[in-house]
Amino acid sequence: MKRLFISLLLAGACAAPVAAEGIDPAKVEAVFKASFSKVPEGWASRLVQDETQAECSKYRDNPPAAAADAIVAREKKNIRYPADGKLMGDWEAAIKDADNGAGKRSTDDPTKAAGGNCYACHQLDKKNVAFGTVGPSLLGYGKDRKADEQTIKETYDKIFNSQSVLACSQMPRMGANGFLTPEQVRDFVAMLLSPDSPVNK
Amino acid sequence: MMPRRGKLGRLFAGVALAAAAAFAAPAWADNELDTYKKMLADPFANPGNLYVDEGEALWKKPAGPKNVSLEKCDLGLGAGVVKGAHAKMPRFFADAGRVMDTDTRIAWCREQLQGIPFADSAKTAFSARGKKSDMELLTTYVANQSAGMPLSPQLGHEKEKEALAIGEALFFRRGSLLDYSCATCHAASDTRIRLQPLAHLTENKSAGKVVGGWPVYRVSQESVRAMQNRMWDCHWQMRYPSIDFGSEATVALVMYLTKMGEGAPVTAPALAR
């Protein structure tokens, strides 16, 4: 019954499945893994889904309520903060980093920090028109909110681990996945909330 | 040929940059780019069309350790039939015991007929800048021989059905450091990354237009690129290791994408950014 309900939900909410129902996820994983014969040292884990990725794939990013609650609960535990506890960093460093799409690809220098590449999906600064629209516009983010302790923490948590807020969010779990450091994340917090940041000009 | 291609690339890049820098309305930039695309889609101006003739000559030329041509290659419609074959890919090939797309089948034929190891075709399938790859030439020729015919992925065989199911599951499979799936970028209309409009690949019209055009001449890379390159490129951006040329996962994805675009005419080689 539950399965039928999910099927109906999926058929209605997303692209109608053409064939994937009934395919064993283990088979899909095996085919995927077997399609990479050369895996650089330390990269094998990238081919293996964690529980959250597997759940979101299974439900095509529309998890039923119980699964969504379980994801959010798990990801809330998967947030780390900078050692000194400060969650507002340097917006000037962040606004440059927001424009950088390089990092952690097979052709990138592995010793360099990855860019946040926020502009790929979000509008940030009125002056930079080369912004994507996959995510919401963040123009004026800090004008719409009071930068109190709670807002700062919520903003940090959202960037560090988007799925601690919304299960199967399309936004990467930037910090939780080790893509950005906690220090980079707090710089982005400042970029969004500081009144001096171009986001709020 | 080279200076002309280089000049064209610079011209196009210049227009794109000017559009991006000078105008705040991205819709305008898209329209300008569309106008340029139309101009460049003129068969006498699209450099991809040069690959068709060169690819045909290569197809018919004896090569490899066995010094034979590819004319006896069976692309699914019988040995030697090139016309219409690409439109019916991917499909199951009993002699290979697996489903293949056009790129993979050509590499397989090169190994079987000419004695060129599949791994060598895989290694040279993506050209370095300024140096054409035999695989890109051959794939462009073969695809162009289906120009105007509707995309008709073959789904009669169990293995073909399985490839479609796996490809669909992979399209929605989230993973790696950025939690992306193909659907993150390609399951909605009217979205873009930076200024680049994204194809809506679960929608027939949009998918058909895109898939029917491959292999495409990519202006930014000053070269034709075939679908296996597109599969590699997306996985690279998703922070995976290099996905194998002709792998089961890439062919399954091509099967799913072709099914999504089913019925659209083949327009290869189309022109892309």
- Is B259 in Cβ contact with A134 (below 8 Å)? no
If one compares A142 and B30, the residue with the highest pLDDT of the two is: A142
Q: What is the pLDDT of residues A106-131, one digit of tens each?
A: 999 999 999 999 999 999 999 999 99
> In terms of CATH, what superfamily is B41-272?
Cytochrome c-like domain (1.10.760.10)
d(CA B243, CA B263) in angstroms, rounded, equals: 28
For residue A17, name the pLDDT band (cuts at 50, 70, 90): low
What are the residue ranges spanned by the domains of chain B? 1-40, 41-272
CATH T-level assignment (fold) for domain A91-200? Cytochrome Bc1 Complex; Chain D, domain 2 (1.10.760)
- Neighbour count for residue B130 (Cβ, 10 Å): 10
Which of A186-200, B32-46, B88-102 bottoms out in mean pLDDT, i.e. has the lowest? B32-46
For residue B20, name the pLDDT band (cuts at 50, 70, 90): very low
What are the residue ranges spanned by the domains of chain A? 2-61, 91-200
Chain A hits for B24, Cβ within 8 Å? 129
Q: What is chain B's Cα-based Rg?
A: 18
Residue A24 reports pLDDT greater than 60: yes
Residue B251 reports pLDDT greater than 90: yes
d(CA B75, CA B60) in angstroms, rounded, equals: 15
For residue A6, name the pLDDT band (cuts at 50, 70, 90): very low
- Neighbour count for residue B220 (Cβ, 10 Å): 12
For position B2, what pLDDT does the model report?
A: 34
For position B35, what pLDDT does the model report?
A: 74
Among B181, B196, B252, the residue with its CB nearest the CB of A31 is B252
Among B23, B239, B244, the residue with its CB nearest the CB of A35 is B244
- Is B193 in Cβ contact with A121 (below 8 Å)? yes
For position B7, what pLDDT does the model report?
A: 42
Residue of chain B minimizing CA distance to A104: B239
Average pLDDT, integer, range B233-253: 98
B191 to chain A nearest CA, in Å?
Answer: 5
For position B105, what pLDDT does the model report?
A: 98
For position A8, what pLDDT does the model report?
A: 41
For residue A20, name the pLDDT band (cuts at 50, 70, 90): low
Asked if residue B118 lies in contact with residue B108, where contact means CB atoms within 8 angstroms, the answer is: yes
Among B24, B188, B247, the residue with its CB nearest the CB of A35 is B247
Q: What is the pLDDT of residues A44-86, one digit of tens each?
A: 999 999 999 999 999 999 999 999 999 999 999 999 999 999 9
The ipTM of this complex is 0.91
Q: Is B182 a catalytic residue?
A: no
Q: Helix, strand, or coil here: A106? A: coil
Average pLDDT, integer, range A135-153: 96
Mutate to test the interface with B, among A122, A133, A171 (most CBs of B within 10 A): A133
d(CA B215, CA A99) in angstroms, rounded, equals: 30
- Is B168 in Cβ contact with A19 (below 8 Å)? yes
DSSP strand pairing (B216-218 vs B270-272): parallel
Average pLDDT, integer, range B8-20: 40
For residue A16, name the pLDDT band (cuts at 50, 70, 90): low
- Is B187 in Cβ contact with A14 (below 8 Å)? yes
Asked if residue B102 lies in contact with residue B75, where contact means CB atoms within 8 angstroms, the answer is: yes
- Neighbour count for residue A169 (Cβ, 10 Å): 20
- Is B175 in Cβ contact with A133 (below 8 Å)? no
